[in-house]
Structure 1
Amino acid sequence: ALIWVLEAIEKFAYRTAHTVSVIAEGFVENLESKGVPSEKITCIPNWVDTSFIHPLPKENNAFRRAHQIEGKFVVLYSGNIALTQGLETVVEAAAQLCDVPDIVFVIVGEMKAVETLKRYCKTCGANNVVLLPFQPRESLPEMLAAADVGLIVQKHNVISFNMPSKTQVLLASGRPIIASVPGSGSAAKAIEKSCGGVVVEPENPVALAKQILELQKNPEHAERLGKQGRQYALERYSFEQALNQYENLFYQVKKSSQPIKPTYALSTNKPGAEG
């Protein structure tokens, strides 16, 4: 009964709203499937502070020094370690690359989840994984700059419109992305549009390991992906872009609505937050 009531409230909100603002293209498709007219829907992505998160050199990097990974090819995952992520895939890919001494995996997340992953690393024999708790915000630019590759990981069954906010952050950092995510989901579509990374089949450690090796062996290609991703972040995900889009949206609502009806925003993450 509660679900029915909530669904009724949801439908009422969509029907009476002048505009529905969403944070990813996948939400557009979801709302259209619920009967919301496409002309009612506006997509304004979450933003990232591109002046705070920006490309930095890997040389003389404080994060690399602190964790003794200087001179390594660093594969970084930082964010939630939850059921929807499937970090076991990353650990299994790391185990397959144990015989490549230059490659190291760094996983940063909530400490309790990190401890669970530590046991899984031992089970898989993945001795090339560095597990760390969440880092202070002021250390985030150096941590991202320490990476040669940033990872986004989801399971097969994740909701298609789930859009990890780490996508914008990694693109802004100027590092190439490997996304082990469903090909039809919002994350995959965003990365493909950005030309800032590659998408591989989710929950497939063999495919993930293969793509990591590809980027390690082709640094020029990796650098090109990173630059393209940074440019896309500036054009699509900067605070200024989001502000301009919201200002334009409010202007259009005010112009065409008498009286002004409420605008509803759907968001699963705080703007610019890790996740």
Structure 2
Amino acid sequence: MNLHDYSGHPFQAQLSRDLAARGHHVLHGYCAQYVTGRGLLERTSDDPRTLAFAPTSAGEPLVKYSPVGRTRFELSYARAWQRALEGEHFDVVVACNVPLFALARMRRYFARRRQPWVLWHQDVYSLGVAAEARRRLPGPVAGVIASAVQRAEQAQVRAADSVVAIGDGFLEQYRRWGVPTGHVRVIPNWAPVDHLVPGERENAWSVRNGLPVEPVRLLYAGTLGRKHNPLLLLELLDAVRARGVDAVLTVVSEGVGADDLAVAARGRADVRLMGYQPAADLPDVLASADAVIALLEPDAAQFSVPSKVHSYLSAGRPIVALVPAGNPAARDVAGAGGCVATPDVAGAHEAASWIAEVTRDPAGLQVLGKRARALAEEQFDIARIGAEFDAVLHDAVRIAEHAREPVLALASAGGIRL
């Protein structure tokens, strides 16, 4: 099988390892040009020999926020992925986090090749594209684009032999689209609890990077893109300090949001921005914090679940989530005793009051951290999750074979040529 996770995130790599251990031959693909926090994307001595990792590169540069440049990149990326698939037979392909236009081309490729495939649906990209079009373009033009991209994404959900959606909100969207859901299974995202284990606040990474010992350490680790407002991090830090708490903020990220934040925080000694850290260092990065922060803008409420929340839970750290109340991550943060507030100035001040209260009691912080870890251990059982995906893969192959039976029968009768 080919599990292609465009982003190269940690829990998708963990799933590939689990599926390989179950007897699948797994080629795990990812985009070499996409800059983000990576999982462990190379085979180790502990991995089955049936597991391999393969980066994919487009022939065009990744221009993330240029409509023309981004489209050229995505189509080129699809061609590169196709070349990789043509060198080997795969019983099933899993497409995860693949951008909308790249996957539109791959959908047609899968149909031509009669390739069984699974859509692991992490975000309803067409809604984000439509929102961006409305921000940039006149109403009638934006409306045409919104309709076109939603039709493309609907077609992907319909065409996949099986769909894994990460939340119930996806099912509701499919029904609004009029797309049948009999081939859809909901499997929420998770984090690799065997790798992201709670650690000591003072550790090799914190010492190597000179993190101050005395202040309260706030940490944001992950993507800062269009679905985030990075300036809320400064609003939160200032509000915490205004409440008499000596606090510092570390941001581990790269890209346009991190660049904007760097400009806004220039000259501040209480803010440190760092690039993405190696996957092996992530447990120490998260352990170095007294509280960790997640952000998400309102228009991403139902569909975009910040994967960093799952990492924070696994690391056993108190969480502040400035996210819409309807987002599934809000439920997990609240269940772990963390703070959920709206992603705006008022929410940042509410969260600051919470931080000022809980950081007065180091023992209380430890209790919150243990609650977070316990929730992660309960929900992120890779043996159970791997078994669910294993069933999805077999369903996809069975559904694809069943769909081909009428075609084969017609061919045997001389109706068409295969």
TM-score bracket relative to the smaller structure: 0.7 to 0.9
Counterpart for residue 150 of structure 1: 292
Counterpart for residue 28 of structure 1: 171
Give the one of 68, 79, 84 matched to 2:222: 79
C-alpha separation between the residues in 2 aligned to 1:190 and 1:39?
A: 27
The answer as to whether partners of 1:196 and 1:230 remain within 8 angstroms in 2 is: no
* Structure 1 residue 258 displacement after superposition: 8.7
* Structure 1 residue 15 displacement after superposition: 4.6
- Per-residue Cα deviation, 1:169-213 (whole angstroms, up to 9, x for no partner): 111111111100010123223433x42522112112212211221
- Per-residue Cα deviation, 1:216-262 (whole angstroms, up to 9, x for no partner): 1244443333222222222323433320211233456678x594469
Counterpart for residue 53 of structure 1: 196
C-alpha separation between the residues in 2 aligned to 1:31 and 1:96?
A: 40
Counterpart for residue 102 of structure 1: 246
Asked which structure has the greater CA Rg, the reply is 2
* Structure 1 residue 161 displacement after superposition: 1.1
* Structure 1 residue 3 displacement after superposition: 6.2
User: Aligned pair 1:141/2:283, yes or no?
Assistant: yes
Letter paired with 1:110 = E
Secondary structure, counterpart of 1:98 in structure 2: helix
Alpha-carbon spacing, 1:247–1:240, altered in 2? closer, same or farther (3 Å): same
Letter paired with 2:278 = P
Q: TM-score, normalised by structure 1?
A: 0.79
* Structure 1 residue 117 displacement after superposition: 1.6
Give the one of 313, 316, 320 matched to 1:178: 320
* Structure 1 residue 104 displacement after superposition: 1.5
Aligned Cα RMSD in Å?
3.0
* Structure 1 residue 113 displacement after superposition: 4.4
C-alpha separation between the residues in 2 aligned to 1:2 and 1:39?
A: 28
Secondary structure, counterpart of 1:70 in structure 2: coil
User: Aligned pair 1:201/2:345, yes or no?
Assistant: no
C-alpha separation between the residues in 2 aligned to 1:185 and 1:249?
A: 25
Letter paired with 1:89 = L
C-alpha separation between the residues in 2 aligned to 1:101 and 1:228?
A: 24
* Structure 1 residue 73 displacement after superposition: 1.8
Structure 2, unaligned runs of 5 or more: 1-143, 405-418
Identity of counterpart residues, as a percentage?
26
User: Aligned pair 1:90/2:236, yes or no?
Assistant: no
Letter paired with 1:20 = V
Counterpart for residue 390 of structure 2: 247
Q: TM-score, normalised by structure 2?
A: 0.54
The answer as to whether partners of 1:45 and 1:237 remain within 8 angstroms in 2 is: no
The answer as to whether partners of 1:73 and 1:103 remain within 8 angstroms in 2 is: yes
